[in-house]
């Protein structure tokens, strides 16, 4: 009896399994097998085979590229997210439109036969879908899905536990990245905290991660993308720093305080840097920005003017004009009621 | 019983095939037989005696068609015609006192089916004749059915001879009916004869019976049937374009090609010989990487781009380099699956059909005997580019090395530095492969800090934002970042991308760091001071990005002759001139200078210190010492948002502007007409 029952149970299962195998084998043959997909029917089909939407995240630590700082130098982490795939799709669609116009022009001039133009028109009329990326919600800003990871010699990436604080909250919490938009957020590691980060070689990356299955709106992008890793070398503070060391460190502090709008410290650091190296254009610029922010318009104009002087000394053959400095000076002159440009 | 069955099969087969086929002398095997069988029987008793003898003559010619040939060379024959003639003579007499008798023999003159069967084996080189049906009681008639001992002896004698064919030991007749020849002859001509003597005498000597069979034969053929082997492109051959996997090791797409051998000119009729198929890929590309920028050269390899993979060709024995494969023997057809390992893979497939006798024939492409190889992909103009892809673009030169991109017209020079083949082979962009357009000029940009392209889209160039790792650095004077780093076939040389990043600038909004406006190879990096741009607003950033990228594409400022002054005098309300000095210098915008031209143009500067106008309330000395009147430039204009296509001044630079044009027409201007991304141009 038990054998019969077993057989009654197992036989249908075998039959179903066999049917499924036959179905898939037949389908494989019909479709040319899993390793030999059928060639596309048309160029439109090829063109529409698009990759899924994918945001891109970049990380910048202080200046662009590898950063080398003396221990205690404050750090600014700048993260930008964009949707370059969508940007490329947009560019391709626009290229198709231009191509379409050219084909139609040649057709009207009789430089192209109708027959030859057909496949060209088919391609030129393809308009790819621009796949946007939505990040963040009104409750949970997009930057909340960001974190930083650090790698030290021989170890895998691990979350950064440095006390990074947002420089300011992003203007928008929920963003829709299309082909022409991007968003930015900055985090600061202040000098006191930076002083506690041990000297060493670090590799850091920003990671945007939205876990699948979280109770977030369906339209949000999900996945994980990491920035290109950035190398950061923190060297121990020298016992007797050189003038160049002091100038460099103070300039970086000035840049930091400028970014965080701590104008008093920015001004002090810029002036400290200029004491060591009076030719630092950036220190003069920050001095000008700090003084302007503090209401010292004449002092700011003088600082920008000094920066302009230094620029002409150091870059006499620059193809680009120091338009930022000229704009600042002109604006300050205006505010000061001066007729001078 | 066994003999009867064999006869039945032979006769049935012959009959059926005689109906189904028409003879064709060119492909036939001919068997000619001359046979004589004589038999005697004599009995002598004390009061009676019997004398009986018969002679049967037979001539037969059978024509066979070769239906097929097995791998071993054994041939399946189909009798398609025969002629034969049988005659019998002789007779006997019974001498008895009371009622003497006489009889005679006759035989049917012709038979419906051949009398002698034939076995033919080309591979082992022998023929065997089967005369089982030659003489038997069914066809030899005696006028007195009660007597006819000689006829029966003749039948028995033939049977005795035939039985030896399959029995060991007594092999005389069998040996003589089996004639060997050199295996796999082109033409067969075999002759032989066989004799057999049979006697059956009684022990007392009163009965003497014997039969003698003599048979001479010739087996011949004259092959003129030729094979024809064809390569059958798959249904979608015309739309097949090579694709690659993630790297050279991973397979891309595949194409399966069938080859078949048949009788020449008659695809429906199999060739009589079986064969094995040798597939060989020739002239296969070995481009580095899978496309022009992936994997990067350090990781890229340059193996064959089309391969016959063992996994996709389990019935075949695949050569070690994946360029050849061989089927098993004994086939009429075979197929091979070719895997692409490069987005620009190309090559040819040849097929050699090797028959089991060692002879061979090269396959040609279906319907075109002049094509001994199938081009992969389909490529009638032989430029190694799939025709399917080419037909979708406005045709320039079909030369793989051509670079005829037209859009945007830019500086009127054609091309974007990438050859037709390179555009086709394509690039990895944002982790996905693309083929670029040979019509539109392409520019690759690595936007390290996700700044975006600003207003640059208006350039009309097709810009591709690539990821880190989708280019390589090579030796170079200024710009070392090369997009076609895996270039090889039909390249026109290095084509550079533009790298763009956010960088703290010494008072500039941005700069194309290099040797000044020029093609991408002249720009080391496009640097944008994002924070400083944003002090003026997002528009300044968008404009600066477009402005600096354009310098990397050969677009210049509207003019370059603005000059600096170190003092100026302003007309005071009391009519006097007051002297003023700048910290360093002031910039004076001149007609045709950097502020000239179309007001909204991205390439124009939107602010100087002063501009020249004859009715100005300021004055200064020009570098040549001449006194110049002018006014402060302020307010400056908004950052540009478009690329101009005419040097003519507009807005503040319009000729009829109330108060006079600030900077007039541009010296260069027509920025759209300057774009050039082709590194082969200077």
Using an 8 Å CB-CB cutoff, list chain A residues near B460.
98
- In this predicted structure, what is the pLDDT of residue B283? 97
**How close A320 comes to chain B (CA, Å)?**
7
In this predicted structure, the answer to whether residue B168 has a pLDDT above a threshold of 80 is no
> Is B601:B455 a contact under the CB 8 Å cutoff?
no
**How close B492 comes to chain A (CA, Å)?**
23
Are residues A14 and A33 part of one domain? yes
Confidence of residue B217 (pLDDT cuts 50, 70, 90): very high
Within-domain flag for B33: yes
B-contacting residues in A 186-225 (Cβ below 8 Å): none
Question: Rounded to a whole number, what is the distance in angstroms from the first to the last CA of chain B?
Answer: 97
What are the strands, taking DSSP E only, across chain A? 56-61, 67-70, 75-82, 133-135, 146-152, 158-159, 165-166, 175-177, 182-189, 200-210, 223-226, 230-235
CB nearest B394 (choices: A81, A120, A281): A120
In this predicted structure, the answer to whether residue B222 has a pLDDT above a threshold of 70 is no
Contact (CB<8Å) A36/B253: yes
Using an 8 Å CB-CB cutoff, list chain B residues near A57.
450
Which phi and psi (to 5°) does residue B540 adopt? Answer: -65, -40
Are residues A254 and A340 part of one domain? yes
> Is A188:A75 a contact under the CB 8 Å cutoff?
yes
Using an 8 Å CB-CB cutoff, list chain A residues near B517.
319
Using an 8 Å CB-CB cutoff, list chain A residues near B607.
323, 326-327, 330
Separation of alpha carbons A76 and A18, rounded Å: 63
- In this predicted structure, what is the pLDDT of residue B585? 86
A vs B, Cβ pairs < 8 A, gives 210
Are residues A190 and A65 part of one domain? yes
Within-domain flag for A197: yes
Residue A44 contacts B, CB cutoff 8 Å = no
Query: Which of helix, strand or coil describes residue B292?
Result: coil
Closest residue by Cα to residue A285 from A254, A314, A312:
A254
Domain boundary among A187, A214, A237: A237
> Is B589:B557 a contact under the CB 8 Å cutoff?
no
- In this predicted structure, what is the pLDDT of residue B221? 81
Within-domain flag for A213: yes
Domain boundary among A237, A263, A283: A237
Within-domain flag for B540: yes
Separation of alpha carbons B441 and B520, rounded Å: 13
Contact (CB<8Å) B391/A116: yes
Confidence of residue B677 (pLDDT cuts 50, 70, 90): very high
Q: With left for phi above 0 and alpha for psi between -120 and 50, is residue A104 left, alpha or beta?
A: alpha
- What's B177's DSSP letter? H
Using an 8 Å CB-CB cutoff, list chain A residues near B408.
98
Query: Which of helix, strand or coil describes residue B326?
Result: strand
**How close A192 comes to chain B (CA, Å)?**
24
Within-domain flag for A45: no
Are residues A61 and A17 part of one domain? no
- What's B74's DSSP letter? B
CB nearest A311 (choices: B457, B501, B507): B507
Contact (CB<8Å) B452/A180: yes
Query: Which of helix, strand or coil describes residue A274?
Result: helix
Query: Which of helix, strand or coil describes residue B342?
Result: coil
By CB atoms closer than 10 A (0-12, 13-18, 19+), residue B149 is buried
Using an 8 Å CB-CB cutoff, list chain B residues near A314.
506
**How close A292 comes to chain B (CA, Å)?**
13
- What's B635's DSSP letter? S
**Omega of the bond leading into B153 within 30 degrees of 0 (cis):** no
Using an 8 Å CB-CB cutoff, list chain A residues near B392.
43, 119-120, 122-123
For an interface test with B, the pick among A319, A332, A333, A337 (most B C-beta atoms closer than 10 Å) comes out as A319
CB nearest B580 (choices: A56, A305, A340): A340
In this predicted structure, the answer to whether residue B22 has a pLDDT above a threshold of 70 is no
Residue A257: CATH number of its domain: 1.25.40.10
Confidence of residue B174 (pLDDT cuts 50, 70, 90): confident
Domain boundary among B195, B222, B249: B222
Within-domain flag for A339: yes
Structure tokens at B331: 């086939």
Using an 8 Å CB-CB cutoff, list chain B residues near A88.
429-430, 434, 463-465
Query: Which of helix, strand or coil describes residue A159?
Result: strand
Within-domain flag for B671: no
Within-domain flag for A46: no
Are residues B565 and B483 part of one domain? no
Mean pLDDT for chain B overall? 89
Are residues A277 and A222 part of one domain? no
Contact (CB<8Å) B460/A98: yes
Give the pLDDT mean for B505-517: 94
Separation of alpha carbons B383 and B390, rounded Å: 10
In this predicted structure, the answer to whether residue B76 has a pLDDT above a threshold of 50 is yes
Closest residue by Cα to residue B488 from B308, B341, B290:
B290
Contact (CB<8Å) A43/B517: no
Q: Determine if the pTM surpasses 0.90.
A: no
Are residues B432 and B314 part of one domain? no
Are residues B246 and B208 part of one domain? no
- In this predicted structure, what is the pLDDT of residue B72? 75
Give the pLDDT mean for B197-222: 87
* Distance (Å) of CA A210 to CA A97, A157, A229: 35, 18, 19
CB nearest A339 (choices: B240, B460, B570): B570
Residue A184: CATH number of its domain: 2.60.40.10
DSSP codes joined into one string, A31-67: TT-TTSPPPPSSHHHHHH--PPP--EEEEEESSSS-E
Give the pLDDT mean for B25-46: 84
Number of residues that this document lists for chain B? 682
Within-domain flag for A12: yes
Domain boundary among A103, A124, A145: A124
Number of helical H runs and strand E runs in chain A: 10, 12
Residue of A nearest to B500 (CA): A64
Structure tokens at B352: 């050699």
* Distance (Å) of CA B660 to CA A330, B596, B634, B657: 22, 13, 14, 5
Using an 8 Å CB-CB cutoff, list chain B residues near A60.
449, 502
Query: Which of helix, strand or coil describes residue B641?
Result: coil
CB nearest A309 (choices: B508, B511, B583): B583
Cβ neighbors of A112 (< 8 A, separation 6 or more) are A103, A106, A120, B394
Are residues B344 and B413 part of one domain? no
Q: Within 13 Å, how many C-alpha atoms sit on residue B586's CB side?
A: 29
Structure tokens at A155: 């170890």
- In this predicted structure, what is the pLDDT of residue B19? 31
B-contacting residues in A 8-27 (Cβ below 8 Å): none
Locate tokens 């962009």: which residue?
B429
Residue of B nearest to A44 (CA): B392
Structure tokens at B504: 């703290």
Using an 8 Å CB-CB cutoff, list chain B residues near A285.
506-507
Using an 8 Å CB-CB cutoff, list chain A residues near B504.
63, 255, 282
> Is B630:B613 a contact under the CB 8 Å cutoff?
yes
How many CB atoms sit inside 10 A of residue B138's CB? 9
> Is A250:A270 a contact under the CB 8 Å cutoff?
yes
Residue of B nearest to A85 (CA): B430
Of A154-168, B5-19, B69-83, B183-197, the poorest mean pLDDT is in B5-19
Are residues B233 and B211 part of one domain? no
Within-domain flag for A43: no
Within-domain flag for B362: yes
Are residues B75 and B210 part of one domain? yes
Are residues B399 and B376 part of one domain? no
Within-domain flag for B673: no
Using an 8 Å CB-CB cutoff, list chain B residues near A64.
448-449, 501-503
* Distance (Å) of CA B480 to CA B416, B499, B652: 17, 10, 41
Q: With left for phi above 0 and alpha for psi between -120 and 50, is residue B516 left, alpha or beta?
A: left
- In this predicted structure, what is the pLDDT of residue A39? 54
> Is B530:B544 a contact under the CB 8 Å cutoff?
no
Are residues A312 and A190 part of one domain? no
Are residues A118 and A141 part of one domain? no
- In this predicted structure, what is the pLDDT of residue B136? 66
Residue A180 contacts B, CB cutoff 8 Å = yes
**Could you read off the pLDDT of B438-472 as tens digits, one per residue?**
999 999 999 999 999 999 999 999 999 999 999 99
Are residues B369 and B418 part of one domain? no
**How close A323 comes to chain B (CA, Å)?**
6
Contact (CB<8Å) A112/B408: no
Contact (CB<8Å) A282/B504: yes
Within-domain flag for A298: yes
Number of domains in chain A: 4
**Could you read off the pLDDT of B148-158 as tens digits, one per residue?**
888 888 888 87
Structural domain of residue B467, as residue ranges? Answer: 393-551
Are residues B469 and B339 part of one domain? no
Closest residue by Cα to residue A35 from B309, B241, B321:
B309
DSSP codes joined into one string, B474-521: ---SS--EES-TT-BTB--S--B-EEEEE---SS-SEEEEESSS-SGG
Are residues B517 and B438 part of one domain? yes
Within-domain flag for B680: no
**How close A2 comes to chain B (CA, Å)?**
44
Are residues B305 and B283 part of one domain? yes
Are residues A102 and A71 part of one domain? no
Are residues B421 and B489 part of one domain? yes
Domain boundary among B201, B222, B243: B222
- In this predicted structure, what is the pLDDT of residue A2? 47
**Could you read off the pLDDT of B338-356 as tens digits, one per residue?**
999 999 999 999 999 998 8
Which phi and psi (to 5°) does residue B97 adopt? Answer: -65, -40
Of chain B, the percentage scoring pLDDT greater than 70 comes to: 94
- In this predicted structure, what is the pLDDT of residue B28? 82
Are residues A174 and A138 part of one domain? yes
In this predicted structure, the answer to whether residue B540 has a pLDDT above a threshold of 50 is yes
Residue of B nearest to A88 (CA): B464
For an interface test with A, the pick among B392, B481, B524 (most A C-beta atoms closer than 10 Å) comes out as B392
Are residues A184 and A77 part of one domain? yes
Are residues A261 and A319 part of one domain? yes
In this predicted structure, the answer to whether residue B632 has a pLDDT above a threshold of 60 is yes
Number of domains in chain B: 4
Separation of alpha carbons B318 and B198, rounded Å: 60
Domain boundary among B331, B352, B387: B387
- In this predicted structure, what is the pLDDT of residue A38? 55
DSSP codes joined into one string, A291-314: HHHTT-HHHHHHHHHHHHHHHHHH
Number of residues that this document lists for chain A? 341
Contact (CB<8Å) B504/A63: yes
pLDDT averaged per 10 residues in sequence order, chain A, 341 residues: 48 48 38 43 60 91 84 95 94 90 92 90 89 93 95 92 91 91 95 95 96 86 96 93 94 96 98 98 98 97 94 93 93 89 80
Are residues A180 and A290 part of one domain? no
- In this predicted structure, what is the pLDDT of residue B337? 97
Contact (CB<8Å) A91/B468: no
Within-domain flag for B674: no
Using an 8 Å CB-CB cutoff, list chain B residues near A102.
394, 406-407, 439
In this predicted structure, the answer to whether residue B224 has a pLDDT above a threshold of 70 is no
**How close B253 comes to chain A (CA, Å)?**
6
**How close A12 comes to chain B (CA, Å)?**
33
Contact (CB<8Å) A323/B508: yes
Structural domain of residue A304, as residue ranges? Answer: 240-341
Of B45-49, B190-194, B260-264, the poorest mean pLDDT is in B45-49
In this predicted structure, the answer to whether residue B1 has a pLDDT above a threshold of 60 is no
């Amino acid at each position: 009896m038990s054998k019969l029952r077993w057989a009654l149970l197992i036989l249908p299962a075998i039959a179903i399994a066999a049917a499924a195998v036959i179905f898939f084998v037949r389908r494989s043959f019909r479709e040319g097998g899993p390793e030999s997909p059928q060639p596309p029917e048309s160029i439109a089909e090829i063109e529409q085979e698009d990759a899924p939407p994918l945001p891109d995240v970049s990380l910048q630590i202080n200046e662009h590229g590898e950063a080398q700082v003396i221990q205690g130098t404050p750090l600014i982490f700048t993260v930008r997210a964009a949707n370059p795939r969508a940007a490329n799709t947009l560019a391709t669609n626009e290229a198709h439109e231009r191509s379409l116009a050219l084909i139609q022009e040649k057709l009207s001039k009789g430089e192209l036969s109708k027959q030859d133009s057909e496949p060209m028109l088919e391609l030129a009329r393809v308009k790819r879908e621009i796949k946007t990326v939505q990040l963040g919600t009104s409750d949970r800003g997009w930057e909340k899905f960001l974190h930083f990871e650090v790698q030290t010699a021989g170890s895998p990436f691990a979350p950064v536990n440095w006390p990074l604080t947002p420089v300011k909250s992003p203007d928008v919490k929920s963003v829709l990245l299309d082909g022409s938009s991007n968003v930015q957020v900055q985090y600061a590691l202040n000098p006191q905290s930076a002083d506690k980060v041990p000297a060493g070689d670090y590799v850091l990356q920003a990671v945007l991660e939205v876990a699948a299955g979280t109770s977030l709106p369906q339209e949000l992008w999900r996945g994980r993308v990491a920035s290109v890793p950035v190398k950061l070398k923190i060297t121990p503070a020298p016992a007797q720093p050189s003038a160049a060391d002091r100038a460099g460190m103070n300039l970086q502090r000035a840049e930091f305080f400028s970014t965080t709008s701590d104008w008093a410290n920015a001004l002090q650091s810029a002036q400290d840097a200029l004491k060591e190296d009076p030719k630092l254009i950036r220190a003069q610029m920050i001095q000008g920005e700090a003084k302007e922010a503090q209401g010292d318009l004449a002092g700011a104009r003088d600082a920008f003017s000094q920066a302009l002087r230094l620029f002409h000394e150091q870059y006499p053959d620059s193809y680009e004009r120091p338009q930022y400095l000229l704009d600042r000076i002109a604006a300050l002159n205006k505010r000061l009621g001066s007729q001078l440009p | 019983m066994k003999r009867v069955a064999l006869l039945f099969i032979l006769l049935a087969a012959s009959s059926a095939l005689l109906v189904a086929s028409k003879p064709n002398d060119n492909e036939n095997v001919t068997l000619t037989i001359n046979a004589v069988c004589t038999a005697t029987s004599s009995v002598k008793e004390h009061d009676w005696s019997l004398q009986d003898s018969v002679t049967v003559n037979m001539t037969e010619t059978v024509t066979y068609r070769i239906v097929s040939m097995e791998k071993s060379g054994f041939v399946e024959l189909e009798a398609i015609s025969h002629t034969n003639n049988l005659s019998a003579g002789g007779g006997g007499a019974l001498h008895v006192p009371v009622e003497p008798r006489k009889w005679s023999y006759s035989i049917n003159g012709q038979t419906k089916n051949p009398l002698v069967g034939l076995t033919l084996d080309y591979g082992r080189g022998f023929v065997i004749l089967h005369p089982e049906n030659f003489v038997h009681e069914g066809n030899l008639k005696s006028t007195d059915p009660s007597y006819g001992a000689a006829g029966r002896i003749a039948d028995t004698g033939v049977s005795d001879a035939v039985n030896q064919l399959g029995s060991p030991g007594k092999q005389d007749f069998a040996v003589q009916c089996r004639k060997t020849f050199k295996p796999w002859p082109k033409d067969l001509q075999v002759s032989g004869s066989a004799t057999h003597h049979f006697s059956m005498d009684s022990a007392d000597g009163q009965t003497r019976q014997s039969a003698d069979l003599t048979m001479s034969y010739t087996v011949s053929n004259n092959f003129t049937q030729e094979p024809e082997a064809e390569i059958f492109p798959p249904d979608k051959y015309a739309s097949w374009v090579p694709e690659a996997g993630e790297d050279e090791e991973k397979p891309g797409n595949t194409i399966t090609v069938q080859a078949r051998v048949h009788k020449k000119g008659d695809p429906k009729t199999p060739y009589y010989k079986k064969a094995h198929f040798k597939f060989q890929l020739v002239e296969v590309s070995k481009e580095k990487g899978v496309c022009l920028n992936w994997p990067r050269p350090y990781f890229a390899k340059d193996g064959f781009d089309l391969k016959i993979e063992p996994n996709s060709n389990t019935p075949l024995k695949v050569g070690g380099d994946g360029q050849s494969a061989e089927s098993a023997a004994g086939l009429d057809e075979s197929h091979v699956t070719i895997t692409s390992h490069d987005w620009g893979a190309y090559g040819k497939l040849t097929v050699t059909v090797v028959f089991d006798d060692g002879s061979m024939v090269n396959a040609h492409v279906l319907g075109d005997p002049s094509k001994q190889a199938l081009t992969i992909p389909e490529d009638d103009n032989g430029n190694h580019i799939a025709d399917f892809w080419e037909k979708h673009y406005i045709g320039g030169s079909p030369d793989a090395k051509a670079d005829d991109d037209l859009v945007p017209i830019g500086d009127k020079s054609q091309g974007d530095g990438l050859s037709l083949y390179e555009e086709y082979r394509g690039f990895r962009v944002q982790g996905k492969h693309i083929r670029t357009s040979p019509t539109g000029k392409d520019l690759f940009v690595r936007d390290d800090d996700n700044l975006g392209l600003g207003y640059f889209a208006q350039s009309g160039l097709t810009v591709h934002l690539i990821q880190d790792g989708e280019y390589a650095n090579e030796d170079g004077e200024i710009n070392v970042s090369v997009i076609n780093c895996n270039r090889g076939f039909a390249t026109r040389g290095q084509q550079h991308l533009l790298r763009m990043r956010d960088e703290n600038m010494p008072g500039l909004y941005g700069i194309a760091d290099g040797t000044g406006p020029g093609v991408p190879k002249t720009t080391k990096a496009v640097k944008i001071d994002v924070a400083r741009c944003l002090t003026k607003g997002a528009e300044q950033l968008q404009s600066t990005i477009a402005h600096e990228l354009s310098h990397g594409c050969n677009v210049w400022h509207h003019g370059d002759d603005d000059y600096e002054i170190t003092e100026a005098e302003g007309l005071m309300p009391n009519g006097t001139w007051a002297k003023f000095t700048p910290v360093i210098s002031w910039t004076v915008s001149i007609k045709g200078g950097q502020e000239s031209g179309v007001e909204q143009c991205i390439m124009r500067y939107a602010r100087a210190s002063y501009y020249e106008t004859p009715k100005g309330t300021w004055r200064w000395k020009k570098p040549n010492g001449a006194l110049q009147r002018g006014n402060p430039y302020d307010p400056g204009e908004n950052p540009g948002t478009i690329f101009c296509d005419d040097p003519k001044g507009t807005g503040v630079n319009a000729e009829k502007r109330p108060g006079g044009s600030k900077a007039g027409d541009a010296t260069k201007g027509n920025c759209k007409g300057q774009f050039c991304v082709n590194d082969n141009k200077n």
